[in-house]
Chain A
């Protein structure tokens, strides 16, 4: 288990959310940590923003609050590139791990780790959302603006989510993590539509660029256990990073992955290369002065984000796909996160016409054939 709760030094609770069951559960579990009841949200945020490393400091504090807006949103993806029609659930925001490349450093205005505790609203909103979308497949997950399992030992959210989604055959629900916190999942009965996914990188990149995250081999072991329990698993090679020795590094991880994981139980593997808005670059320089990953050959993509020059991306993806095909097999569904149709064609020899087609391809249960050309 990865005990991120040990790094929490302070808990904030919104006055209006104090009595909610999830707040009470968390406060009971973390009863030795000082608690402050929040009446003025802005004051707390301003206080953190006035700290020298507000992002780093925010990772030591937990904020229990109610989400006033929508829990379920379409994944923002990126303009001009091909999306996958994924939906995100903003149950928790931010993450106790501190990856140098993390977009959340730039994306979130509030540096604290937030747990949205108004669970009743979540179920109500999910019911309405799934009813509206009842005629299509849905891929939905909690790991976009936070890690799905990092704080699961204190929230036990995964158990409730698994219970909610179990049996909803048109919905593939994904928990996405870098952590090893699988105890709650292991205690649940498996279901084909519940997928636990791990973000993977090379061991070297994990050690250098993913501060606080467990080694990749341990993540693969956690996936092995979850798969043995009867769940399907997924993997995200994102961000793929170019560095001297990347070819051997990724090959080693893929080799290890398929030495432990049954390819037929992999729901999908996504590939995405390092990309970030330009504004994040200076933040990375300051927070991670020894990193070199931001100095590789990058161009400004059509979406305005910095990304590797296309031939470099193609080479990177081709090597990874070749390794997956060689150590695993060619049936594992692969897809790109935020890439062009041209890359799909050149690397995977697939031509999805739209994000709906990508979604349909990834929503297939084992044994079905893809409709993508």
Chain B
């Protein structure tokens, strides 16, 4: 804080349109408002002057909350006229001391350092390690590309805490392709979002078609055009279909196994489960048992099952390929 001047200024004097030092626009002030109402602004934001105007270096959330509360005068620190690069280090370090950055915020930090003229080698050596990113040039390029994604994608990615892998795929898509995913992403859970992106990307690359062309053809298009489905149902169906299209052989075998186990006419509290992806050579029989009587009943059923011919197919579902 040395060389910084502590003062009070009128909040209207701050040019909030200048967002050059803003790392994340995705913040909420709801939890801060009661605190400011009760105790005032205890931690002054940091400002600096550019072309006679005060701009925010650090403290976007605090200033936005004060604006909402119509606080006229606020305490601030004003930085001397450091370069943008030097000034930007203030919010980077300050935020790092408080919370983890999302991948989108990390991308914004790297982009800003880059645009403020920091040497790539320095970004890699100093700041990427600080952000817990592997210090490699290839990875820096990925983050620069992530920052260039469309705003709606970045917002969802930040809010849902998308992994680097998901974002990496988005950057490898043409902007129209990335946008084509978007309507089906919102309703899905994070895990399903991830799988949908990976599946459609892989299918499109394997078939040499764009993601939009893939989505605009066959069963995928029929699902989108189905007026009887709401957006959530459409997203779920598209997700399920992407799994089938990505792994057709696995899907065939999963279905065959299901049909075989159904043909055994098992009681509801007895389930036959294959090994994960059929990779192991065992099956699991799961029993839900409440008491000794049920145990005896299940043992009788298991004995009966062990005599049936179909059971051998479950152990070797590929034998009739």
Contacts and interface: CB of A to CB of B under 8 A. Distances in A.
Interface of A: 46-47, 49-54, 278, 282-283, 285-286, 292, 294-297, 299-302, 309-312, 314, 340-342
A309 B277 contact: yes
B120 interface: yes
B318 A50 contact: no
Given A46-B125, A50-B121, A300-B277, A286 B138 contact: yes
Which applies to chain B's interface (DSSP): helix, strand, loop or mixed? helix
Please indicate which of the listed interface residues B121, B202, B247 has the most CB atoms of chain A within 10 Å of its own CB. B202
Interface stretch (B25-33, B234-242, B248-256): B248-256
A340 B150 CA distance: 45
Given A50-B125, A282-B168, A292-B206, A297 B138 contact: no
A299 to B, nearest CB: 4
A311 B125 contact: no
Contacts of B247: 297, 299, 309
B243 to A, nearest CB: 11
A49 B281 CA distance: 43
B124 interface: yes
Contacts of A286: 138, 172
B279 interface: yes
Nearest to A307: B279
Interface size class of B (residues with CB under 8 A): 20 to 34
A340 B247 CA distance: 21
Nearest to A282: B168
24 contacts: A46-B124, A46-B135, A47-B121, A50-B120, A50-B121, A50-B136, A52-B141, A53-B138, A54-B137, A278-B165, A285-B172, A286-B138, A295-B206, A297-B247, A297-B250, A299-B247, A299-B277, A302-B276, A302-B279, A310-B277, A310-B279, A312-B249, A314-B318, A340-B281
A99 B246 CA distance: 25
Given A282-B165, A314-B318, A49 B124 contact: yes
A311 B247 CA distance: 12
Contact of B249 (A46, A311, A340): A311
Nearest to A111: B136
Contacts of B124: 46, 49-50
B138 A52 contact: yes
A309 B249 contact: yes
Which applies to chain A's interface (DSSP): helix, strand, loop or mixed? helix
B205 interface: yes
Nearest to A296: B206
A311 B321 contact: yes
Nearest to B248: A297
B101 interface: no
Given A50-B125, A282-B168, A314-B318, A301 B279 contact: yes
A352 to B, nearest CB: 15
A355 to B, nearest CB: 18
Contacts of B281: 340-342
B114 interface: no
Contacts of B277: 299-301, 309-310
B278 interface: yes
B267 interface: no
Contacts of A53: 138
Please indicate which of the listed interface residues A50, A286, A341 has the most CB atoms of chain B within 10 Å of its own CB. A50
Nearest to B123: A50
B83 to A, nearest CB: 23
